[in-house]
Structure 1
Amino acid sequence: MTDTSTDTAATTPEDTDEFIAGLVSDLSLEQKVRLLTGASFWTLHDEPQIGLETIVVSDGPAGVRGQLWDERDSSANLPSPTALAASWDVERVFELGQLIAAEARRKGVGVALGPTVNIQRSPRGGRHFEAYSEDPWLSGVVGTAFVKGVQSRGVGATPKHYVANDSETDRMTVDVVVDERTLREVYLAPFERMVTEGGAWLVMSSYNSVNGITMTENELLRSPLKDEWGFDGVVVSDWMGVRDTVAAGAAAQDLAMPGPDGVWGDALVEAVRAGQVSETDIDEKVLRILRLAGRIGALAGVEAAAPLAEPWPQERIDALLREAAADGIVLVKNDGVLPLDAGSGQSIAVIGQHARIARSQGGGSATVFPDHVVTPLAGLTEAFGDAVRFAPGVRSSESLLPVDASVASDPVTGESGVHVRFLSDDGRVVLDEHRGSGRLMWLGDPILGDTAVVEAKTTFTAPADGEYAVGFAGLGLFRFEVDGELKSDGLFFPEGTDPFMAFLNPPKQSFPIRLAAGQTVELRLEHRPQQQAGLSAVMFTLGYEEPFSDADAELERAVALAADSDVAVVVVGTTDQLESEGFDRANLRLPEGQDELVRRVIAANPRTVVVVNSGGPVIMPWLDDAPATLLTWFPGQEMGAAIADVLSGAREPGGRIPTTWAAAEDDVPVWQVEPVDGKLFYSEGLNIGYREWARRAAVGGPAPAIPFGHGLGYTEWELGEPTLGAGAAAGAHEGDVATHGLTVSVPVTNVGDRAGKQVVQVYLQRVSDSAIERPVLWLAGYAVVRSEPGAATVASVEVEPRSLQYWSVDDHAWRTEEGTYAVRVGTSVATLSAPVEFTV
Structure 2
Amino acid sequence: MKHQDLTSKMTLEEKAAILSGKTVWQTMEIPRLQIPAIFCSDGPHGLRRQAGEGDHLGLNASLPATCFPTAATIANSWNTELGEKLGSALGEEAAAQKVDVLLGPGLNIKRSPLCGRNFEYFSEDPYLAGKMAASYVRGIQSQGVYACPKHFAVNSQELRRMAMDSVLDERTLREIYLTGFEIAIKEGKAKAIMSSYNEVNGTYANENPHLLLDILRKEWGFEGIVVTDWGASNDHAKGVACRSNLEMPAPGLDSARELLEAVESKKLSMDELDQCVDDLLEAILELSVQKRGAEFDQKKHHEIAREAAEESIVLLKNEKQVLPLKAGTKVALIGDFAFEPRYQGAGSSMVNPTRLETMENEIMHYDLQLAGKCRGYRRTGENDTALEQEALHVASQSDVILYCFGLDELSESEGLDRAHMKIPQNQIDLLEKLFQCGKPVIGILSAGSATEMTWEKNLTAIVHGYLGGQASASAMLNVLTGRVNPSGHLNETYPLDYEDTPAYHYFPSEERTAQYREGIYVGYRYYDTAKKPVRYPFGYGLSYTTFAFSDLKEEENGISVKVTNTGDTDGAAVVQMYVSLPKARVFRPEKELKGFTKVFLKVGESRTVSIAFDDKTFRYWNNKTGGWEIEEGEYLVAVGENCEAIHETMTVHRAGSTVEIPDVYQKEMLPSYYNADIQNVTDSEFAKLLGHEIPSGKWSGSLNKNDAICQLYYAKSPIARLIYRILTSMKNKSEAKGKPDLNILFIYNMPFRGIAKMTAGAVSRDMVDGMVTAVNGHFFRGLGQIIKGYFVNAKANKAYEKKLEQTGAEK
TM range (shorter): 0.7 to 0.9
CA deviation string 1:31-52 (max 9, x = no partner): 1111100010000112233332
Q: Does 1:718 align with 2:701?
A: no
Where in structure 2 are the equivalents of 1:250-649 lying within 5 Å? 250-259=241-250, 261=252, 263-298=254-289, 310-341=294-325, 344-384=327-367, 387-397=370-380, 551-649=384-482
Query: 1:469: which partner in 2?
Result: none
Q: Counting helix residues as a fraction of each chain, which structure ranks higher?
A: 2
Indicate the SS of the match to 2:255. Answer: coil
Letter in structure 2 aligned against 1:223: D
Contact 2:485–2:544 (CA under 8 A) maintained in structure 1: yes
Q: CA RMSD in A?
A: 1.7
Query: 1:119: which partner in 2?
Result: 109
Instruction: Report how far residue 394 of structure 1 moved.
Output: 1.4
Percent identity of paired positions between Structure 1 and Structure 2: 33
Query: 1:677: which partner in 2?
Result: 511
Contact 1:75–1:369 (CA under 8 A) maintained in structure 2: yes
Contact 1:245–1:263 (CA under 8 A) maintained in structure 2: no
Indicate the SS of the match to 1:560. Answer: helix
Instruction: Report how far residue 308 of structure 1 moved.
Output: 6.7
Query: 1:808: which partner in 2?
Result: 622
Q: Does 1:705 align with 2:695?
A: no
TM-score, length-scaled by structure 2:
0.77
Contact 1:750–1:788 (CA under 8 A) maintained in structure 2: yes
Query: 2:171: which partner in 1?
Result: 181
Letter in structure 1 aligned against 2:311: D
Instruction: Report how far residue 310 of structure 1 moved.
Output: 4.7
Paired residue for 2:571, among 747, 756, 764?
A: 756
Determine the C-alpha separation between the residues in 2 that align with 1:271 and 1:175.
25
Measured at CA, do residues 620 and 64 of structure 1 come closer, stay the same or move farther in structure 2, by a change above 3 Å?
same
Query: 2:691: which partner in 1?
Result: none
Letter in structure 1 aligned against 2:619: Q
Determine the C-alpha separation between the residues in 2 that align with 1:178 and 1:765.
23
Indicate the SS of the match to 1:227. Answer: helix
Measured at CA, do residues 217 and 275 of structure 1 come closer, stay the same or move farther in structure 2, by a change above 3 Å?
same
Aligned residues: 645
| Unmatched 5+ stretches in structure 1 | 1-16, 299-303, 399-547, 728-742
Indicate the SS of the match to 1:762. Answer: strand
Determine the C-alpha separation between the residues in 2 that align with 1:30 and 1:617.
50
Instruction: Report how far residue 718 of structure 1 moved.
Output: 1.2
Paired residue for 2:600, among 770, 786, 798?
A: 786
Contact 1:360–1:373 (CA under 8 A) maintained in structure 2: no
Contact 1:349–1:562 (CA under 8 A) maintained in structure 2: yes
Measured at CA, do residues 245 and 667 of structure 1 come closer, stay the same or move farther in structure 2, by a change above 3 Å?
closer
Query: 2:643: which partner in 1?
Result: 829
Contact 1:338–1:647 (CA under 8 A) maintained in structure 2: no
Determine the C-alpha separation between the residues in 1 that align with 2:369 and 2:455.
29
Determine the C-alpha separation between the residues in 2 that align with 1:320 and 1:677.
44
Q: Which moved more, 1:73-82 or 1:597-606?
A: 597-606
Instruction: Report how far residue 336 of structure 1 moved.
Output: 3.6
CA deviation string 1:145-164 (max 9, x = no partner): 00111011100000110000
Determine the C-alpha separation between the residues in 2 that align with 1:151 and 1:388.
48
Where in structure 2 are the equivalents of 1:220-231 lying within 5 Å? 220-231=211-222
Query: 2:499: which partner in 1?
Result: 666
TM-score, length-scaled by structure 1:
0.75
Determine the C-alpha separation between the residues in 1 that align with 2:567 and 2:40.
48
Instruction: Report how far residue 554 of structure 1 moved.
Output: 2.0
Letter in structure 1 aligned against 2:219: E
Where in structure 2 are the equivalents of 1:212-251 lying within 5 Å? 212-219=202-209, 220-251=211-242
Q: Which moved more, 1:356-365 or 1:623-632?
A: 623-632
CA deviation string 1:569-621 (max 9, x = no partner): 00111112111110111001111211122222223143211011000011111
Determine the C-alpha separation between the residues in 1 that align with 2:501 and 2:436.
28
Contact 2:634–2:653 (CA under 8 A) maintained in structure 1: yes
Instruction: Report how far residue 720 of structure 1 moved.
Output: 1.1
Instruction: Report how far residue 774 of structure 1 moved.
Output: 1.0
Contact 1:568–1:605 (CA under 8 A) maintained in structure 2: no
Q: Does 1:135 align with 2:125?
A: yes
Indicate the SS of the match to 2:635. Answer: strand
Determine the C-alpha separation between the residues in 2 that align with 1:73 and 1:257.
21
Measured at CA, do residues 799 and 600 of structure 1 come closer, stay the same or move farther in structure 2, by a change above 3 Å?
farther
Determine the C-alpha separation between the residues in 2 that align with 1:293 and 1:336.
59
Instruction: Report how far residue 71 of structure 1 moved.
Output: 4.5
Determine the C-alpha separation between the residues in 1 that align with 2:62 and 2:6.
38
Measured at CA, do residues 653 and 247 of structure 1 come closer, stay the same or move farther in structure 2, by a change above 3 Å?
same
Measured at CA, do residues 222 and 309 of structure 1 come closer, stay the same or move farther in structure 2, by a change above 3 Å?
farther
Instruction: Report how far residue 388 of structure 1 moved.
Output: 5.0
Indicate the SS of the match to 1:801. Answer: coil
Indicate the SS of the match to 2:617. Answer: helix
Contact 1:338–1:648 (CA under 8 A) maintained in structure 2: no
Indicate the SS of the match to 1:137. Answer: helix
Query: 1:104: which partner in 2?
Result: 94
| Unmatched 5+ stretches in structure 2 | 52-57, 655-811
Contact 2:95–2:143 (CA under 8 A) maintained in structure 1: no
Letter in structure 2 aligned against 1:291: E
Instruction: Report how far residue 289 of structure 1 moved.
Output: 0.8
Q: Does 1:691 align with 2:525?
A: yes
Indicate the SS of the match to 1:835. Answer: strand
Q: Which moved more, 1:587-596 or 1:242-251?
A: 242-251
Contact 1:822–1:837 (CA under 8 A) maintained in structure 2: yes
Determine the C-alpha separation between the residues in 2 that align with 1:235 and 1:33.
16
Q: Counting strand residues as a fraction of each chain, which structure ranks higher?
A: 1
Letter in structure 2 aligned against 1:579: E
Determine the C-alpha separation between the residues in 1 that align with 2:404 and 2:270.
59
